Amino acid sequence: MIAEFCGAAAPDIPDLTHCPTCGAPRHNVAVLKRLLCSALLLPAFAGCSATPERDARGNPKIERLTEEALARLPAPEPKLTAEDLVRLSREGMPPEKIIERFQATHSRLGIPRSEIMELGKQGVDRKVLDYVAEAEERARQTDVAEALAGRDAEQAREEEQRRELYRYPYWPSPPYWGGYIGVPRRNWGFFGYW
């Protein structure tokens, strides 16, 4: 077409509507992205619209386990103590099994590292001692982080309460500018004040 108007040979203009290697038609990527996002978000919005059953007070109904179902649940395995570690080591249980059991029961000894190392003199394997010492240190760090987070949340809550105390209670919120709540708004000019 360009050659017809210019009278010269047309330069090589790449065809952007088809793939240069296989010749397949290209699709509009923006439209495909929108369709994909819509298809993924639709089930999420549909799930949010489902409401749970409610009781007489309007609270969500909670299905509780029956006594028989509670009786069938396995009893939780007791947490391991320092004496249990010594006993299991003397019984010949492999260190890997002791570590797995310590992990599974979410045990915590709550003793200092020096006392943990004293267990080695009573026959506890070095691998078990190293793992228990690391687990105790991680637990201490978690306790400190939780305490700091709780303190920060409490300070933020107290700050918000202080701010609420000092807000002027007689001025209405923005939809009511120009008059008090319950008093009809007068036409006092552009801003409602004069």
How high is the pLDDT of residue 131? Answer: 92
User: Do the domain assignments include residue 103?
Assistant: yes
- Give 107-166 pLDDT, tens digit per residue: 888 888 888 888 888 888 999 999 999 999 999 999 999 999 999 999 999 998 888 776
| Pairwise CA distance, residues 116 & 133, whole Å | 7
User: In the chain, how many domains are there?
Assistant: 1
Write out the residue range of the structural domain in which residue 87 sits.
82-163
Is residue 184, in this structure, part of any structural domain at all? no
Q: What is the pTM of this model?
A: 0.47
For residues 18 and 24, is the Cβ–Cβ distance under 8 A? Answer: yes
pLDDT band at 181 (very low <50, low <70, confident <90, very high): low
Residue 107, in any domain of the structure? yes
Does the residue 56 lie in any domain?
no
Partners of 60 in the β-ladder:
54
Q: Is 73 a member of any domain? A: no
- CA 115 to CA 169: how far, in whole Å? 60
Please state, in angstroms and rounded to a whole number, the distance separating the CA atoms of residues 187 and 178. 9
Q: Is residue 142 part of a domain?
A: yes
For 3-36, the pLDDT digits (tens) are: 454 555 555 655 556 666 666 666 666 766 777 7
* 76-103 pLDDT tens trace: 788 888 899 999 999 999 999 999 999 8
Give the span between the Cα atoms of 114 and 133, in whole angstroms.
Answer: 9
Residue 100 maps to a domain: yes
Structure tokens at 84: 């249990």
